[in-house]
Amino acid sequence: MTPILIASDHGGFALKEKLKPFLNKIGLKVKDLGPFDDERCDYPEFAYALADKISKGKFKRGILICKSGIGNSIVANRLPGVRAALSYNVKAAKLSRRHNDSNVLVLGSIFVRPDLAKRIVRVWLNTKFEGGRHKRRLAQIREIERKIRGGRK
């Protein structure tokens, strides 16, 4: 089974719990980074935990869920090599893979109900990176990350 990470905050907990059996059913081994209940918690802790594993190459893909998805996107995209895509619809998820080779899907539980979330996830998982002109742009992103890590001059 292909592994995938998943994490949320309290606002995304219910949707996360609905997605886990779906991910298992379509053949993915889910590694849940928490939280493990719906008690109030801080999203940066969970978004960082997931994005750090993606950034270090320990996992290839992950899914983050909070109420709006915005906070998780901000945190995850701070780490090098992470391309987190906030997607409220199937088309955005598909384009995030085709054009940006996104490796973290971010969902907002107040905008995406479970049935739509499953469709978004399925499309995101099954869409291939297009390459071509988009490869050049990803190289530019990697160069920006290199400059940031090396300090500004």
CA distance 79 to 86: 16
pLDDT digits (tens, 9 = 90+) for 69-102: 999 999 999 999 999 999 999 999 999 999 999 9
Could you list the active site residues? Answer: 66, 99
Q: Where are the domains of the chain?
A: 2-150
Q: What pLDDT, in 10s, does the model give residues 3-48? A: 999 999 999 999 999 999 999 999 999 999 999 999 999 999 999 9
Q: What would the pLDDT profile of 111-126 be if each residue is shown by its tens digit?
A: 999 999 999 999 999 9
**pTM for the whole thing?**
0.95
CATH topology of domain 2-150: Ribose 5-phosphate Isomerase B; Chain: A, (3.40.1400)
